[in-house]
Structures are given as structure tokens and as C-alpha cells.
Amino acid sequence: MATKATIEPNARVVLEYTLRDLDDDVLDASSDEDGEPIVYIHGYGMLVPGLEKALTGLAAGDEKEVVVPPEEGFGERDEELVLEIDRSEMPRPDSVEVGDELVAESPEGDEAVMRVIEVKEDAVVLDGNHPLAGETLRYSIVVREVRPATDEEIEEAASAFEDAAEGWEPHDHGTNGSGGDALVQLGRAPKSSKKLKN
């Protein structure tokens, strides 16, 4: 009798999910109008660490509630990543709004997504923290499919993992630094973030 495939390194996994915060507010869900199931290769840091670890050993059809503390999710908030700049330095100073996102480049060439959190008369406050930094996350997961990944899928995942690892500083775990787009973003992610397609 064939054994059921379980989630382990190099497994290709399809998940339905609902993400809530501690107040039970839904932050993101695969059932949203523009939502879709997560498709990822296990073991390559495509999910936040606490979630990926909790999924190990599950099989198709399994359901699980997973609580992920900030240090295993999108990291603690770092107030040093909040900065105020002159409004004139913004790409479109006249039409800047709270919630706008822009990519800032450091002198070393690393890129980070910064969100506008406040607009003043002559200045703008930007936040480089991930929107879910500092949050304890509650995932309701349904495993839809598990199968061994193809060599091509593994190669793609490994390549994305290496790109994400380059330029990451130890304090930058999941704060959407230069490798942020290699994570399957859960939550209010930039619309430009890549999700692996089937």
C-alpha cells in the first residue's frame, strides 16, 4: 500500500489558509476575492519560519491551527526602520498618500520596501518594517496537495532562497529586506510580491 505523501523538505505543497491576528480579525485568506492558495516548496524559507516548521509531517487533507510569535513570523518591530524625509524627496510629492509603498535603495545597493505611514505638510514618515512585524499571527491551514517537487521546482526554490539570503542581515529576518519578494507574502503584502505559480 502506498504511503501518503507528507510535508518534508523538497515537497511541493498547496495550502488553503486564513490568517488572523490576536483580535480574531482576518488579515488575509486564500478565499479572498483576489486570494489564491499558497503553492510552495518546503524547506526553502518561502513561508515564515514558524509556519513552515509547524507544517512538517502533515499530509493532504490535514487541517491545523498554527500560532506564530513575531520572532518566528515577520520579526519584531524595529523603530530604527521608521524615518521622516522631506516631502520633496518623494517620487510624486503632491499625490503621496498613507499606504503608498516605494522601494528604497541603501548605499550598498540593497532594496527595501518602505510604506508611507504619515503625510505631513512638508514631510513624509516612512516605515521599513513589514506590516505584520511585531504581530502574533494565527493561521488556519488546510493542506490541499502534497507531492515530491520536480527538479525544476526545487532549482527555482533554491535559487530564490539564495537570492533572499544574499544581503540579508541577521536582524532582517522577514522584514521585507532585499530578499522579501522570495517569501510567499502572507498579509498586506505589496501587490508586486511574487507568489510561486503552479
Q: Tens digits of per-residue pLDDT, 30-45?
A: 999 989 999 999 999 9
Please give the Cα distance from 183 to 179 (Å, whole number): 8
Residue 68 lies in a domain: yes
Q: Which helix H or strand E contains 141, and what residues bound it?
A: strand 137-148
Same domain, 108 and 144: no
Domain that holds residue 66: 11-75+132-151+159-182
8 A C-beta contact, residue 129 and residue 78: yes
Q: Tens digits of per-residue pLDDT, 70-116?
A: 999 999 999 999 999 999 888 888 888 999 988 877 778 778 889 99
Q: How many domains does the chain divide into?
A: 2
CA dihedral 81, 87, 88, 89 (to 10 degrees): 10
Same domain, 27 and 61: yes
Same domain, 85 and 175: no
* All cell numbers assigned to 61: 487533507
pTM above 0.75, yes or no: no
Question: Is residue 179 predicted with pLDDT exceeding 70?
Answer: no
